[in-house]
Amino acid sequence: MLSGATKSFGANLAVDGVSFSLAKGHVHALLGGNGSGKSTLIKMLAGVERGDGGTVAIRGHSIPLAEMTPARATAAGLRFVHQQRSTFPELTIAENLAIGGNGFPVGAGGRVRWRAARREAARVLAKYDIDAHPDQLLGELGPARQAMVAIARALQTGHADNGILVLDEPTVSLPDTEVRLLLDAVRRHADQGQTVLLVTHRLEEVFSVADNAILLRNGQLVAEVAPRSITRADLVELIVGRAVDEIAPDTSAERGPIVLEAQSLCAGPVGPVDLTLHAGEVVGVAGLVGSGRSSLLKSLFGVLPIESGSVRLHGTALRLGTPRDAMRAGIAFVPENRAEDAAFQELSVNDNMSVAVLLDYWRGGRLRAGVQRRDARDLLSRFLIKAQSVDESLSALSGGNQQKVIVSRWLRRAPQVVLLDEPTQGVDVGARHEIYLLIREAVEAGAVALVASSDSEELAAICDRVLVLRGGRIVGELSRDELTSSRVERLAHGQEKEVTL
């Protein structure tokens, strides 16, 4: 039971007297928008952030959150699988389980007893119903099974009847088939008596697997509901604090002229690909992990070298040797991994917004900082970004607001082609809606958007049509009315006849 959890960062009250109980053998979904206090609360439970007040009671023992440490959290029975997993794909499953568990069994002279390590790994794999061999490299498994190994590693040193498994957005970037595989495993753990606290932004997961939903907003507990007793629209309103209208493409609008054309494009794992994009449309790119979704976008932005084929913009041949070439042509790219490939966390919001247009602010060898800051303030308002000021560090913003800063960086350039790779990954439902609106505004102004996503629900929400990739080739095109996760999966797995484009 959590009671009165409180945490402030300066004048910002991040968690404000939150209290709730978790029932044994249930999956509890912890929901809330970016900045609602979810991440801070999880860090307090893990002992990473010291709380200002409140207690957590497990196994009849009460621990003040101000005194919580990672060691005390583990001893209390709290087990965590974080979004950024600490597993090692290049090591075997047996090695991963030993590193995260009780360590390697050793014999005389400190030598590792590998046979015993493999036996223990086989026992854990069997216990948690994971179809794998102890000697397999973890990286050989699919994303869902890698996550299942991470969960098994967290649970192997505890007991299901007296601990709590905390899963922090475990399905981020997983395609629909892998999501279902992982959620089935989570449900099995709960049915066997494991208490689970699931942090997620994907509402379909809440309705699929959760027994209870705990909702935070502005650091406070606003509701606890049973998903089966509430509609999706009502749940969204509880999370955001207001009604959110569904966004749908205007199916009556005619496609504009051709903006970008690729013929026989080959780049890395992609190709040959023929692609035609029209002004005013949002085109989705679907496919399984490794299908070439991200590589296709990277090749069009000059990140991945084009080996053969041609790309034309408004009929004129393009040479996309570098990202600079793509930017000069009017192409923008929001990459999948914001933290590694797009965000400068320790720089200000102002600097992050300006980095793609910085030369515009230099005159006579001097930076016009006042004009730069004024434009950044205008972008805060235009793109609905919540920040105390443009001088605030990007790292101080929630994930959704960080993503809107990255989107604003590129859309301020009024690009002709907008490439977005998993644009709402890890973003709450409110910020997701706002990003969809920004994409729509860009294409209504004459641009074209190419959106790669593992979320078929997202593609159905914003796309006029969707291309399905398998093995680096386009194997089908689906209109919005035809788009279902099952059709995407059948095409992606080769279980449905390819569509000639």
Q: Which of 87-101, 107-121, 230-244, 416-430 is least confident?
A: 230-244
pLDDT at 81 exceeding the cut of 50: yes
What pLDDT, on a 0 to 100 scale, did the predictor assign at position 500?
A: 44
At residue 313, what are phi and psi to the nearest 5 degrees?
-115, 115
Q: Which SS3 state, helix, strand or coil, does residue 206 take? A: helix
pLDDT value for 151: 83
Read off φ and ψ for residue 286, nearest 5 degrees.
-115, 165
- pLDDT tens-place string over residues 165-205: 898 888 876 777 778 888 888 898 888 888 999 998 888 88
C-alpha span between 197 and 435 (Å, rounded): 28
Decide if pLDDT at 252 tops 60. Answer: no
Question: What does the alpha-carbon distance between residue 84 and residue 11 come to, in Å, rounded to a whole number?
Answer: 29
| Least confident segment among 67-81, 95-109, 315-329, 368-382 | 95-109
| Type of residue found at 296 | L
Calpha distance 171→200 (Å, rounded): 8
- C-alpha to C-alpha distance for 198 and 192, rounded to whole angstroms: 16
For residue 361, what are the contacts with CB-CB under 8 A and spacing of at least 6?
Answer: 354, 367, 368, 369, 371, 372
65-89 mean pLDDT? 85
Q: 141 or 410, which is more confident?
A: 410
Amino acid at 319: R
85-126, pLDDT tens digit by residue?
678 889 999 998 888 777 888 888 888 888 999 998 898 888
Residue type, 58: I
Smallest CA-to-CA distance from 163 within 67, 61, 87, 69 is with 61
Region of residue 93 (phi > 0: left; psi between -120 and 50: alpha; otherwise: beta): alpha
> What is residue 418's predicted lDDT score, i.e. its pLDDT?
95
Angle subtended at Cα 406 by Cα 401 and Cα 408, rounded to the nearest 5 degrees: 90
Query: pTM for this structure?
Result: 0.73
Residue whose tokens read 């015993």: 116
Segment 452-467 shows an average pLDDT of 85
**Given a cut of 60, is residue 246 above it in pLDDT?**
no
pLDDT at 501: 47
3-state SS of 107-172?
CHHHCECHHHHHHHHHHHHHHCCCCCCCCCEHHHCCHHHHHHHHHHHHHCCCCCCCCEEEEECCCC
Q: Determine the Cα–Cα distance for residues 222 and 17; give it in Å rounded to an integer.
A: 11
What beta strand segments (E) does 415-454 contain?
417-421, 448-452
Could you list the beta-strand ranges (E) of 290-426.
308-313, 316-317, 331-334, 362-363, 366-367, 417-421
- pLDDT for 488 equals 74
pLDDT value of position 237: 84
Is the backbone of residue 165 left (phi > 0), alpha (psi -120 to 50) or beta? beta
Give the residue with greater pLDDT, 438 vs 427.
438
Average pLDDT over residues 338-344: 86
Pairing of strands 212-217, 270-278: unpaired
pLDDT value for 103: 83
Supply the pLDDT for residue 197: 94
Count of residues making up the chain? 501
Q: Return the residue matching tokens 């790779």.
A: 421
Q: Which distant-in-sequence residues (6+ apart) come within 8 Å of 171 by Cβ?
A: 147, 178, 179, 182, 183, 200, 202, 205
- Residue 318 CA from chain centroid, whole number: 32
> For the purposes of burial, counting CB atoms within 10 Å of the CB of 362, is it exposed (0-12), middle (13-18) or buried (19 or more)?
exposed
**Ordered domains of the chain (ranges, CATH):** 2-240 (3.40.50.300), 258-330+415-493 (3.40.50.300)
Write down the H helix ranges in 165-265. Answer: 176-191, 203-209, 232-240
The beta strands (E) that lie in 226-330 are given as 258-267, 270-278, 282-286, 308-313, 316-317
Q: What is the mean pLDDT of the chain?
A: 86
